[in-house]
Every structure is written in C-alpha cells, then in structure tokens.
C-alpha cells in the first residue's frame, strides 16, 4: 500500500508546483473591450414617417449609460419642453425618450446624441448617433454645411450651436433674442465643421452661437455670435464660414451702492467712457466729486465731499441719449485713511514705470519728499505722470541694465481728496535685468496694408505686447521675457488703434484678425526675424 502511495503523492506535488509557476503574476482578464455598443432595435424604427406617438425606445446589445447629455444632445428643431431621456443615471440595455412637447405637423425631427451613449464597462461611445422621424409623410433630406472660426482667437470654442431661422412673414433680426431656431446642430468638442441635416427647402438666416445658457437664444452679455451676411437658400452646395465674436455690450446703468463714508459704487455694463453721474437734488455747499475706475470690475467709484445731511437723494446716470434715475439711500460707514500700494515689485521691465496707487483719490504730490537712489548711491531726478482714471502716479526713469532703484517716500508726499496725507515713510526696491536675459523679435509685414495692430499673445489669446504699425511695415518687440508667444495682426480698417468687434443687428462683421504660423520660442540673448506674409 505504501509503495503505491509514493508515486501518487509525487505526481500531486509536481502538478501543484507547475500550477503555481503558471499562475505567478496578475491575471490580465483578457483583451480590453474597445467595441462600441450596438443597436438591436428601435421602436419606432429610425427614419420613420407619420410619427404619432410620444415615446421612443432604443435597445442595445449590452448595458449602456448616458453622460454629458445636456451638452451632447441636440434636438432639431428645438422643443419648448425638453423630453425625458432615461436612464438619467445608472445603466440599462435600452434608452427611452419620452416626448412632452406638442410636435409640429409635417416636420422632420432629429435627435443628435453626439457621443453621450457609452457602454457601461469601458465607456466606449456609440459615435454620433442620430434618431430621425417625421410627423409627415416624408423625411426632409437637405443639408447646410460649413465651419466655425473665432474672430479673435486662434482656436474656436467647443460646443458651438449652429442654427437656421426660417425667413417667413414672422422673421425679424430680433428673433435670435426671443425665439428658438427652426433647425440646429452642434460642433461638439473635437471639430469645427458643422452639418445641419434633414432640413427642407427654403430661405434661412444662418447663425452660430456659443450658447452659455444652452437655451438657443442670444444673450449679448454672455454669448458669442457669428452670422452669414444676408440669407441662404436651400438646397445649396456652398460651404459657409461663420466667425464667432463677442459684441460690445449695450450700456446699462445699475443701481448704486454706498461703499464708504463718502464713496458710492456705480456699477454698469458696456462702455463707461461717456458715462456721467449727476445729483438731482440740492447739493451740500462747496460740493465736489472725483470719479475713479475699478481695475477689475465694471464699476465707477464716486467720491464726494462734504457729506449729505439728508437720508436719500436722486442721481442721474447718462450715457449719450440714455438716462437712468436712481434713488439712493445713504448709509453710515466708517471712513478710510490714505494707503499707498506699489504696483510693481522686484523686477521691472524696461518699458514699465514704477507706480504708486492710492485707495483715496490723490489731490497733489510733493516730489521733494520722494527720492530715487540707484545701487551706486546716485540720486535719480523724480518725474511723475498722473493717471486720473485709476488714481496712479507713475515715475518714469531712464533704466539701465542690472541696476537697482530704491524709492523712499516720506510722510506728506501724497495728499488725498480729503486733505489726508500718507503718515508713514515707505520704501520700495526694484531692479532691472541684463538685456542679454531677454530676447527680441523683428516682424517684417510683407504685402501688408497699413495701419495694423501687431500683438504677441499667450495661448489663451491674452495680449502680452502690442505695437502699432502705421508708417512702416517693420515692428520691433524688444526685451521680451523668454517664453512661447503667438503672433497675430489686426487689420485696423478705421485707424482707431483698437480692435473693433462686430454687431449682429447692424450687420457688421468684426475686423479681420490673422495669426502667423507658429513662431519659435523666444530665448534669452536671441534676435528673431519673422516674415509675416499677407495674401491679397
């Protein structure tokens, strides 16, 4: 018995050892599933006609879920009451669309799901699924195609709504503010082209919106808009280009707010430059005011003296022909004392000026109480420039390489609107770098029609440096911090030295903006020459 048992035990031991060796490591679980889900049935069938129901069921071969439906799902024509799409969360082998709106007669509807339908396990999307039906006897089959650009940025936004408004007896340009379009599509998040499909023959206004509220209505304050000049006629073989831009917001005065003992904030929307503030009621004897602009927000600070002896008064805010009247109630708030702040600390660029900002409007400056000493203990003459909009004194000096400048401000150097002074001695230190630590760019504007606004911008389109080319097609950007820049040019057609955006109601397109080919990263102690060629 024992002689027969030994070979069996040896066999078991070898089998266990081999099994252990074969199972070392982590199991892979097989190949990753990369296949999208498949549709097994649609009720009613896709592209059905004479649709009469209020529910659509789409069945799949595996469990699916829905993601980013609010962004991805585009229904054309839009419905006043959004349908209920389930499952709202979790997974299911079927998607159900419950229609709550009253459908229009003889109309083709399209549900564009984008890539919102994904399988439950790996998240593989069913790509750009469209469910189409008609309440009439035919499916409309015409299309309008094109692409979207941004008027100012190198790359347009994602999820742009592209819309058609039918030109009929009810059409007016203001329709974009009040009514949803007849047809709509979306550029989604990976392409800038569009195709509005399943539309009928007719005449339409073609609009693009970066629709922040996803309500298919143009909000001038929040949305970008683009439009094709005139109307388009369908069917068409044309490819349409739409340029998105931010309109200048129409001026709007907002109710003022007491913000300090003798300071009122006047918020606004739009352009403040022609904004005027006046008191309607009787003013205190010797009444004086100063108005400053907030650097960050759309607000003006209205400073006044002396204080009003009444609880309320009325202000008018005018901007051109627009007049608003506000009743203002005064509040008791503790007053401020004058405080100074340096706007530049540490390294100063050669094109910058050292600047001091005050929290209360300045009335005068005593330069005898201000000294500027370099690192060699040499005194620099004090010159000043006052910015009355932002209440800032700038100190222009001729800056030298690798130099240090110490600013000393003694008590009483600054006097404010209320005859207050700075009471402490303030010291600030700034320094320059060697010019070899910067780079330079010369731009040759070939075949260019002047004037042009030439800009170096960052990846977000924010202006870092700007020059105006009026008389010469050569511009030089000097002492640039080494980094990556984009080069763009604005065709200043009206010569006002600023970018002019478009206006939908006036039918005005924005000024043309051109980006150069990507330029090399600026490096220290390097001079770059760029030929920016313009086509006719």
Q: DSSP assignment, residue 245?
A: B
Q: Are residues 348 and 385 both part of a single domain?
A: yes
Question: And the tokens for 499?
Answer: 């970018």
Q: Are residues 360 and 426 both part of a single domain?
A: yes
Domain boundary among 366, 400, 433: 433
480 within domain boundaries: yes
Report the CATH number that the domain containing residue 108 is assigned in CATH.
Answer: 2.60.40.1220
Domain boundary among 415, 433, 451: 433
Residues 399 and 353: beta-carbon distance below 8 Å: no
The span from the CA of 331 to the CA of 30, in Å, is 73
Furthest C-alpha separation in the chain = 126
Give the chain's domain count. Answer: 5
Mean pLDDT within 288-306: 97
- CA trace torsion 294, 299, 302, 308 (10° rounding): -140
Domain of 107 in residue numbering reads as 39-134
Mean pLDDT within 128-145: 95
Report CA 91 to chain centroid distance, whole Å: 35
Report the CATH number that the domain containing residue 180 is assigned in CATH.
Answer: 2.60.40.1120
Q: How many CB atoms lie within 10 A of CB 251?
A: 19
27 within domain boundaries: no
pLDDT value for 260: 93
The span from the CA of 267 to the CA of 290, in Å, is 16
Which of 112, 120, 117 minimizes the C-alpha distance to 187?
112
Q: Are residues 321 and 348 both part of a single domain?
A: no
Residue with tokens 């007849």: 182
List the beta strands (DSSP E) in 29-107: 39-43, 55-66, 74-76, 84-86, 92-98
Q: Are residues 415 and 444 both part of a single domain?
A: no
Report CA 393 to chain centroid distance, whole Å: 32
Question: And the tokens for 429?
Answer: 């230190």
Q: Using 50, 70 and 90 to split pLDDT, how confident is the model at 114?
A: confident
Q: Are residues 451 and 362 both part of a single domain?
A: no
Reported as a single tens digit per residue, the pLDDT across 363-403 is: 999 999 999 999 999 999 999 999 999 999 999 999 999 99
Mean pLDDT within 128-154: 95
Let me know how long the chain is.
536
Q: Using 50, 70 and 90 to split pLDDT, how confident is the model at 32?
A: low
Q: Are residues 324 and 280 both part of a single domain?
A: yes
Q: Are residues 229 and 146 both part of a single domain?
A: yes
Question: Pick the residue with more confidence: 70 or 179?
Answer: 179
pLDDT value for 68: 87
pLDDT value for 3: 41
Prediction pTM value: 0.84
Q: If residue 264 lies in a helix (H) or strand (E), which one and from where to where?
A: strand 263-269
Q: Are residues 348 and 278 both part of a single domain?
A: no
List the beta strands (DSSP E) in 152-248: 161-166, 183-186, 193-199, 202-210, 224-227, 232-234, 239-244
29 within domain boundaries: no
* Strands 426-431 and 346-347, bridge-based pairing: parallel
Of 56-70, 182-196, 305-319, 336-350, the range with the lowest mean pLDDT is 182-196
15 within domain boundaries: no
155 within domain boundaries: yes
Q: Are residues 152 and 208 both part of a single domain?
A: yes
Residues 256 and 327: beta-carbon distance below 8 Å: no
Reported as a single tens digit per residue, the pLDDT across 235-270 is: 999 999 999 999 999 999 999 999 999 999 999 999
Share of the chain above pLDDT 90, in %: 84
Q: Are residues 454 and 491 both part of a single domain?
A: yes
Q: Are residues 227 and 259 both part of a single domain?
A: no
2 within domain boundaries: no
Which of 133, 130, 134 minimizes the C-alpha distance to 112?
130
Mean pLDDT within 206-227: 94
Q: Are residues 79 and 94 both part of a single domain?
A: yes
The span from the CA of 352 to the CA of 25, in Å, is 63
Which residues make Cβ contacts (< 8 Å) with residue 464, sequence separation at least 6? 455, 456, 457, 458, 485
The span from the CA of 29 to the CA of 261, in Å, is 72
Does 7 score more than 60 pLDDT? no
pLDDT value for 536: 63
Sign of CA dihedral 103, 107, 113, 114: negative
Please report how many Cα atoms fall inside a 13 Å half-sphere around the Cα of residue 357, on the Cβ side: 12
Reported as a single tens digit per residue, the pLDDT across 335-357 is: 889 999 999 999 999 999 999 99
The span from the CA of 293 to the CA of 300, in Å, is 5
Reported as a single tens digit per residue, the pLDDT across 265-286 is: 999 999 999 999 999 999 999 9
28 within domain boundaries: no
pLDDT value for 159: 87
Domain boundary among 199, 218, 244: 244
Reported as a single tens digit per residue, the pLDDT across 504-515 is: 999 999 999 999
351 within domain boundaries: yes
């Amino acid at each position: 018995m024992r002689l027969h048992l030994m070979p069996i035990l040896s066999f078991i031991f070898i089998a266990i050892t081999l099994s252990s060796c074969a199972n070392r490591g982590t199991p892979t679980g097989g190949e990753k599933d990369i296949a999208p889900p498949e549709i097994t049935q649609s009720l009613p069938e896709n592209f059905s006609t004479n649709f009469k129901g209020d529910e659509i069921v789409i069945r799949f071969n595996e469990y699916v879920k829905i993601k980013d439906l609010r962004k991805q799902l585009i229904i054309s024509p839009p419905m006043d009451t959004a349908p209920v799409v389930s499952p709202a969360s979790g997974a299911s082998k079927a998607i159900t669309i419950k229609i709550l709106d009253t459908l229009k007669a003889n109309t083709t509807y399209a549900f564009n799901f984008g890539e919102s339908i994904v399988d439950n396990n790996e998240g593989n999307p069913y790509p750009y699924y469209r469910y189409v039906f008609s309440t009439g006897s035919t499916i409309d089959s015409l299309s309008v195609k094109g692409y979207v650009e941004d008027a100012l940025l190198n790359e347009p936004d994602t999820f742009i709504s592209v819309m058609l408004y039918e030109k009929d007896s009810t059409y007016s340009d203001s329709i974009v503010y009040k009514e949803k379009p007849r047809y709509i599509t979306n550029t989604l998040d990976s392409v800038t082209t569009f195709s509005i499909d399943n539309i009928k023959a007719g005449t339409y206004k073609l609009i693009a919106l970066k629709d922040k509220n996803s309500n298919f209505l143009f909000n001038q304050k929040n949305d970008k808009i683009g439009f094709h000049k005139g109307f388009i006629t369908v069917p068409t073989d044309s490819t349409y280009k739409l340029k998105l831009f931010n309109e200048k917001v129409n001026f709007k005065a907002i109710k003022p707010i007491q913000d300090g003992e003798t300071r009122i904030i006047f918020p606004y929307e739009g352009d403040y430059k022609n904004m005027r503030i006046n008191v309607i009621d009787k003013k205190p004897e010797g009444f004086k005011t100063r108005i400053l602009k907030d650097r960050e927000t759309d607000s003006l600070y209205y400073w006044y003296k002396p204080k009003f002896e009444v609880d309320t008064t009325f202000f008018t805010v005018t901007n051109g022909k627009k007049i608003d009247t506000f009743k203002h109630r005064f509040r008791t708030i503790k007053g401020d004392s004058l405080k100074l702040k340096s706007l530049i600390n540490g390294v100063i660029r050669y094109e910058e000026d050292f600047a001091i900002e005050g929290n209360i409007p300045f009335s005068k400056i005593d330069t005898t109480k201000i000294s500027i000493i370099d690192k060699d203990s040499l005194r620099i003459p004090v010159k000043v420039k006052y910015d009355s909009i932002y209440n800032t004194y700038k100190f222009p000096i001729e800056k030298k390489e690798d130099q240090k400048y110490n600013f000393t401000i003694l008590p009483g150097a600054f006097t404010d609107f209320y005859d207050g002074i700075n009471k402490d001695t303030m010291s600030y230190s700034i320094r320059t770098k060697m010019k070899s630590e910067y780079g330079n760019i010369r731009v040759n504007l070939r075949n260019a029609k002047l004037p042009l606004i030439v800009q170096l911008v960052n990846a977000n389109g924010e202006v870092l440096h700007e020059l105006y080319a009026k008389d010469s097609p050569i511009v030089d950007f000097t002492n640039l911090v080494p980094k990556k820049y984009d080069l763009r040019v604005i065709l200043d057609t009206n010569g006002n030295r600023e970018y002019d955006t478009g206006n939908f109601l006036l039918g005005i397109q924005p000024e043309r903006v051109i980006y150069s080919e990507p330029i090399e990263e600026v490096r220290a102690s390097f001079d770059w020459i760029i030929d920016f060629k313009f086509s006719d």
